[in-house]
Structure 1
Amino acid sequence: MLKAFKSHLKKHFPRLLDQHFLLACSGGIDSMVLVDLCKRSKLDFAVAHCNFRLRGESSEGDEAFVRETAINLNIPYYITHFDTVGYMNNNKVSLLMAARELRYAWFAEIMAANGIERLVTAHHADDDLETFLINLSRGTGIDGLVGIPERTANISRPLLKFSRIEISTYAEEQGVQWREDQTNAETKYLRNNIRHRILPLLKELNPSFLKHFKNTQYYLGQTAEIARNQIEQVREALFLKEDNLIKIPVTSLMTLNPLEGYLYALFKNFGFTEWGDIKNLLSAMSGKEVRSATHRLVKDRDFLLLKTLEPEDHSKYLIYEHEKAIVEPVALTIRMVERMTDFGKNILYVDKNALKYPLTVRKWKKGDYFYPLGLNGKKKLSKFFKDEKIDMISKENQWLLCSEGSIVWVVGRRADDRFKVTEKTSQILKFELN
């Protein structure tokens, strides 16, 4: 196995041959065999061990074993302890998820502090098969079936090529010592249940099952790559970027077939999982929306608007008399002028004596109205937005310049007639949006 491991590194992981890396080590057979292989291959690495304090003396024994092994082999090591149960309760996640989040966050800290670019883990072929079956049992798309990737931006898994039997055989032949986690034998966890009850049956039915599974995953991976290229072309054609949002024409989405498959592929990277809700959004009234943990998708007439989810801003910003500029929430320059010269939507001229200080800048809210310059009478902002065909997201981001509650300017769009410059105006104040 050592010869095959070295050959595998040379072909698929050349960076590990001359780069210092971090190796995640639990003390179990998989990670201890990986430590042995890397040491015999004369690689430059440090080991990192997490004590999750879940198994009492056994957890302490694992920590001591990893520390002693690292010292005996003259390998740099890092060890930490976690209050895993406390993290699980505080963050409302499962125990397995808590342990995962804690360890990978800690690995990232070590790597950032020490200039280490790559983490190496001991996932092997049987782990890959177990993950496949777990995802299959829960329902997944093709991405959940192509398996654990051998490489990501900063993680390498050089044992994925090797089976659990190969690893066990190597450990026995080379006298590799390891610690046995007794919880691995418990079948109350889904992964362990699959490992001890389902995989043996599959391998009994077909001794070459694992080999054929890896071939199947390879073909699935090729198909997934073709699908990704197609989806990227569709996304490039339909996702129209405008300022800080993306507009997607509904009619174009409706022509895609199969629709549900395209919706899944186009929006899954934005955290959406309720595909039925997104499909219903296509025929919904304007204003309806679907949210993920990170994004919102809003129906606006003939488009879906995709935007990063941000906290609502209820702030009110003040402008005091004699201020010459503000930078929040919008950048405005303010100055007295003798006459009106240049014009445009980004420029406002007002009769200074009509203003009451301090002025305020705030978001619009339901019920707001103003007296649009050049029109007789007042108009609700909601009606103004509709007439101007302003989309839902832009409406939510609209700022108003106000004087004692009265709208002076729908910033960047329309001035209020009540504050306009007239023949009686003695002081002209100019606001310019930068």
Structure 2
Amino acid sequence: MVEAFIRHIRNKSILDPSKTYLLASSGGMDSMCLGNLLTKAEIPFEIAHVNFQLRAKESDGDENFLRNWANSFGKTFHVHHAETYAFASERNISTQMAAREIRYDWFEKLRVERNLAGIILAHHEDDQIETIFLNLLRGTGIEGIYGMAERRGWLIRPLLPFAREEIKAYILENQIEWREDSSNEKTDYKRNKLRHISLPALYSTADDAKSNLLNSFARLKDTGKAFAVLFESWKIEKIQDSDGLQILPLTDILRKAGATSLLYFWLRPFGFNSDQAQDILETCQSGDSGKLFESPSHLLNLDRDRLILAPIPSQFDSISISESDIEFLLPEGKYEILKLEGKEALDKTRQNAMLDLERLSFPLEIRSWQEGDRFIPLGMKNTKKISDFLIDLKVPVVKKHAVKVLLSEGQIAWVIGFRIADWAKSTAATRKLLYLKKR
């Protein structure tokens, strides 16, 4: 096994003998086997152990065992005493989840403090199969079949190609001591049920059941990688970026093979889940224009014949502009405040505004538009609700949330970025202009 291990880490360039790593060790069979293999492969490492204080004297025994082992091999030993039950209670999570969060957070903190090249974990082939089945039981897509990576970020798993039986045989053959965790034999947890009941029953159906599963997972993983490449090409070709929005024409998603997956992989980085992706596709098929979907950070709107994605606007607190101000800042950008002679050529671009200064009263106010707001758009004689005005301009729902208005004595003078009010326009009689210019 030593030769196979060294060949594996060299061929995959997983570990560098010139660097020092952090070995996460429980004192169990897997991590003790890995510690021995790393030593024989001449990979420098320090040892990190979390005493979760869940098994009283047994937990303390694990810590003492590892400390003695580290001392005998001249390895730096780090230990963290965790209040696991209290941590789980504070966050209202399971003990297992608490233990996972505690150990990975501490490992990373220790790695940074010690300037180590990575965190080595003792997960092996059987752990990989268990992880994949746990993902399937929770509900997963193609990426759930990938399981654990040999290297992801600072986490390194050099034992993934090796089976539990190989590790056990190596431990016994080399008379390596280890600590047995009594909780591993209990079937209270899903992983242990899989390990002791479900997977042995599955393997018993055929002599090659386990190897066939591993081969199937490998082929599915390769298929997933191929899909990822094709998805990226589709996204580059079909997703349009416009003024902070991402736009997908319905013609590029409806009746496409794998449409739900395409939507999910597009929207997942923005906090949407697979169930939402299915709902979105059904909404597109039904043509329910105007429907809005929300993630913690983004809004997605079916706007006629397209999907529009935008960040959820941050809460905007109204601002006041005094007569002496020379600029103001909005989430959309910075605006200059200029005072000009009335004979200046008018800037008719939507993003800027030229207003009759003498018709305005300071301080001016900028706030988000509100339901019921009305104004007289430039060139019209009657008031119009801003909600109707934005509909007429076909402003997407996801963009309406960010629209702001400029007011003078409570009267709307400009729907910012769209149109000024008719009453505030420059005329032949205008002597002074207020020019609000976006930089």
Q: Residue type matched to 2:326 in 1?
A: K
Contact 1:337 / 1:429 at 8 angstroms: preserved in 2? yes
Q: What residue in structure 1 maps to residue 206 of structure 2?
A: 206
Partner of 1:323 in structure 2? 325
Question: Could you tell me which residue of structure 2 aligns to residue 273 of structure 1?
Answer: 274
Deviation readout 1:368-401 (Å, 9 max, x if unpaired): 2211122212111112212222112221122222
Does the C-alpha gap of structure 1 residues 88 and 297 become closer, same or farther in structure 2, counting only changes over 3 Å? farther
What is the aligned partner in structure 2 of residue 414 from structure 1?
Answer: 419
Give % identity: 34
TM-superposition CA deviations, 1:299-341 (whole Å, max 9, x none): 2222212234x46414112222201112344411112212323
Alpha carbons 1:248, 1:304 under 8 Å: kept: yes
Determine whether 1:392 maps to 2:397. yes
Is the Cα–Cα contact under 8 Å of residues 313 and 401 in structure 2 kept in the other structure?
no
Counterpart position of 1:290 = 293
Per-residue deviation, 1:47? 2.2
> Contact between 2:15 and 2:43, CA under 8 Å: does it hold in 1?
no
Structure 1, unaligned runs of 5 or more: none
Distance 1:361 1:77, change over 3 A: farther
In 1, the alpha carbon distance for the partners of 2:320 and 2:59 equals 58
Which residue pairs with 1:162 in the alignment?
A: 162
For residues 287 and 85 of structure 1, the distance between their equivalents in structure 2, rounded to whole angstroms, comes to 47
In structure 2, give the amino acid aligned to 1:398.
V
| Gap change, CA 1:403 and 1:124, over 3 Å in 2 | same
CA shift for structure 1 position 239: 1.6
* 1:108 alignment partner in structure 2: 108
Per-residue CA deviations over 1:3-51 (Å, capped at 9, x if unaligned) read: 1111111111344333322222222211121111112211122222223
Name the CA distance, whole Å, in 2 between partners of 1:175 and 1:98: 34
Is structure 2 residue 314 aligned with structure 1 residue 307?
Answer: no
Q: Normalization by structure 1: what TM-score?
A: 0.92
Q: Give the root-mean-square deviation of aligned CA atoms.
A: 2.3
- Residue 99 of structure 2 corresponds to 99
Residue 345 (structure 2) aligns with: 341
Native 8 Å contact 1:288 1:299 kept in 2: yes
Amino acid in the other structure paired with 2:403: Q
> In structure 1, how many angstroms separate the alpha carbons of the residues matched to 2:154 and 2:49?
18
Distance in 1 (CA, whole Å) between partners of 2:308 and 2:137 is 34
Give 1:43's aligned amino acid: I
The equivalent residue for 1:232 is 232
Change (3 A) 1:188 1:286: same
Q: Which residue identity does 2:260 align to in structure 1?
A: E
Matched, 1:4 2:15: no
**Structure 2 unaligned spans of 5+:** none
The answer on whether the counterparts of 1:281 and 1:289 sit within 8 Å (CA) in structure 2 is no
| Cross-structure match for 2:251 | 251
Do 2:407 and 2:414's aligned partners in 1 also have CA atoms closer than 8 Å? yes
| Residues 1:402 and 1:109: Cα distance change in structure 2 (over 3 Å) | farther
Specify the alignment match of 2:142 in structure 1. 142
Shift of 1:284: 4.9
The letter for the 2-side match of 1:186 is K
* Correspondence list, 1:122-201, <5 A: 122-201=122-201
- 1:360-371 aligned at under 5 Å gives the runs 360-371=365-376
How many residues are aligned here? 433
Question: Quick one: which amino acid aligns to residue 139 of structure 2?
Answer: G
- Inter-CA distance 51–408: structure 2 relative to 1 (3 Å threshold): farther
Which residue of 2 is the match for residue 41 of structure 1? 41
Residue 30 of structure 2 contacts residue 167 of structure 2 at CA under 8 Å; is this kept in 1?
A: yes
SS at the partner of 2:253? helix
Cα drift, residue 201 of structure 1: 2.7
Select between 189-198 and 132-141 the one with higher mean Cα deviation: 132-141
Q: Distance in 1 between matches of 2:24 and 2:297?
A: 30
Task: State the distance in 2 between where 1:284 and 1:78 align.
Answer: 60
Where does residue 67 of structure 2 map in the other structure? 67
For the residues of structure 2 that align with 1:18 and 1:335, how far apart are their CA atoms? 63
Q: 1 CA distance for matches of 2:200 and 2:14?
A: 34
Give me the whole-angstrom Cα distance separating, in 1, the residues matched to 2:368 and 2:77. Answer: 54
Letter of the 1:272 partner, please give it: N
Q: CA-to-partner distance for each residue in 1:176-219, whole Å, 9 max, x for gaps?
A: 22222111111011110111112323344434433333222222
Confirm or deny: 8 A CA contact 2:14 2:158 kept in the other structure: no
